[in-house]
Amino acid sequence: MANFSCCQDVLRRVDKTFKAFFRRLGSGKKPGFPRYQAWGGYDSVTFPTYGDGCRLQGKLRIQGAGEIKVKLHRGVEGEIKTVTVKREAGRWFVCLSVEKLACRLPVSSAEVGIDVGLESFAALSDGSVIENPRPFQAVEAKLRGAQRRVARRRKGSNRRRKAVRLLERLHAHIRSQRSDFQHRLSFSLVALFGLIAVEDLNVKGMAQGRLAKQVADAGWSSFLCKLAYKAANAGRELVRVDPKGTSQTCVCGASVPKRLAERWHACPACGLSQPRDVVSAQVILQRARTGRSGVNEEVVVSCVA
């Protein structure tokens, strides 16, 4: 059975695809019927049981390929459960899923509210502002040229394959830059604060408006996901609050309507005068603490076994 261990995950993918198809069909939507994956689009294979067709002992032994040299960026901690070999932009990567005990950080009484945005990536309730790196915007001109080069090449030719490879490398570079920034930021926030308050945003809906490109470039969903699992692993408390009116309310509770172009908050009731995003972060933290605004809020308490 060891010769067929990598085929188990293929069957799981097919089963998951058809279950999702019938679930959408039952909800009244009109989903497309699952299609066969083209040979060029099937870029990964998973060995569901470590050691059964795949083993890492100095070198990676893969069923049917033998021993292959690997570059380990850091030591593997915990018990390896599955091994996935992935091809991305002409390069090969090994993804190891491991099982290990959570690493609980020392207790911290510090609290912070985070307001994500587009002009700056995030504003914190303590007045700090995180600049938005905009990785897509930085290489958008290069991407446009690479996409035109692919369009000019004849389909099936070697020159088209080379042009596609160049385009894939640019997209992979953007993803790596965005992921590295989000990992560093989420790690620093979890290390400093015991309570982290964020908005429960509908990012998918926001990505369908006129600012779709900027929202996608910011990558709020992936950042919040990284923040959530890092907080759970460290034993921190992550609180998601209703985002309604966070930018139109003062910390004193007064309503301060503002247009999107107005970036400064000036409250006529209490006289507070601060950047708009910083005040929004303070309101988010206030809602997480006391629910003073009266809106619904969801509190997620991270537990570590």
| pLDDT 10s digits, 274-283 | 999 999 999 9
The predicted structure's pLDDT at residue 7? 79
Active-site annotation holds for 242: no
Active-site annotation holds for 115: yes
- Of 9, 79, 168, 199, which one is the catalytic site residue? 199
User: How do 44-47 and 129-131 pair as beta strands?
Assistant: unpaired
Task: Kindly indicate the confidence band of residue 76, based on its pLDDT and cuts at 50, 70 and 90.
Answer: confident
Burial (CB < 10 A; 0-12, 13-18, 19+), residue 77, is exposed
The predicted structure's pLDDT at residue 3? 52
- Of 77, 140, 237, 277, which one is the catalytic site residue? 277
Average pLDDT over residues 93-98: 89
- Of 15, 43, 111, 115, which one is the catalytic site residue? 115
| pLDDT 10s digits, 131-171 | 999 999 999 999 999 999 999 999 989 999 999 999 999 99
Fold of 111-139+176-301: Nucleotidyltransferase; domain 5 (3.30.420)
Active-site annotation holds for 199: yes
Domain locations along the chain: 2-99, 111-139+176-301
| pLDDT 10s digits, 220-250 | 999 999 999 999 999 999 999 999 989 898 9
